[in-house]
Amino acid sequence: MPLKWVLQWQPNAGTTVNSQILNEVSQCVETINGVKEGRWKATLTFYKPMIREQAVPTDYPRDFLGISLPEQPNKYYFIIRGQRIVLEADSSIQTIMEKLQSYKSRVALIFEGFQYQLGDFQLRVGKVVPSHSENLRGIVMEVEYLPISSLDKSRQIMEEFLDIWQEAVSKRSLPGHFTHIEPNFAEYGLSDHYSSQHTAVQYATVMAQLIASVQTVQSVRN
């Protein structure tokens, strides 16, 4: 399948994300001739262990992630970042987890927005919001290059595209920029050939960055 990079909006120090930035970024895609195609949505859920006796120390993971992606609507992904495990399963694995009653889904974050076609590229720009509120927690962007599946072979063209994109965004003098952190896919046992498991790992990495940035803002405030 075509490879993609998942980017996230990194606000400048002392600033936070807001819907105006999201609007400007979306307009920016259209100014470089991106054609709006439709909506997309991914969901990321935190699972936490259900411990019978809280006082007894355990070494179970404090949490792990469940991810549903629009590119694979019948699949579901589990990620334990600490142990670098990504599992691909049929969506019914969620029912199995409910029946086991050993881990409970606690918080869900929705990634949703619009999809754009731009030549051989497909862009998805979206907001990150909790499942039961409209509080904007972040902005993400997927850049997918349709002709290539190899991460290595596509690196140069992806970097060139990002340079053009960053230049287009910088003209709007927004208080931040998009960053791309490529996870070490090999640690997860994933090859150079791109798959949806790579996408799931990228979302988990974006999630970790979002949490880290929220914690940084909170510590600055305190």
Partner 1 sequence: MECVVQGIIETQHVEALEILLQGLCGVHRERLRIHELCLKSGPNLGVVASEVQLLCDLEQPEPTWTVRHVGGAMRGSGAEQISVLVRTMVESKVSKNALRLFYALGYKLDHELLRVGFAFHFQRGAQITITVSSVNKMPKLHATDEALPVTPGIQLVEVTAPASVGKLSRSCCCNVLFL
User: Under the rule (CB under 8 A), what is the footprint of partner 1?
Assistant: 49-53, 56, 58-61, 64, 78, 80, 83, 85-93, 95-96, 99-103, 189, 197
CA angle in degrees (0–180, nearest 5) for 123-198-177: 45
Alpha-carbon gap, residue 78 to 205, rounded angstroms = 13
- Find all residues with CB under 8 Å of 125, minimum gap 6, and list them: 22, 25, 26, 29, 113, 114, 116, 139, 140, 141
3-class SS of residue 188: helix
Nearer to partner 1, 101 or 219 (CB): 101
Nearest to 7 by CA among 219, 120, 158: 158
Least separation, in Å, of the C-beta of 66 and partner 1?
12
Nearer to partner 1, 101 or 218 (CB): 101
Nearer to partner 1, 129 or 208 (CB): 208
Q: State the Rg of the chain over Cα.
A: 18
Nearer to partner 1, 96 or 214 (CB): 96
Least separation, in Å, of the C-beta of 90 and partner 1?
4
Least separation, in Å, of the C-beta of 185 and partner 1?
14
Least separation, in Å, of the C-beta of 78 and partner 1?
6
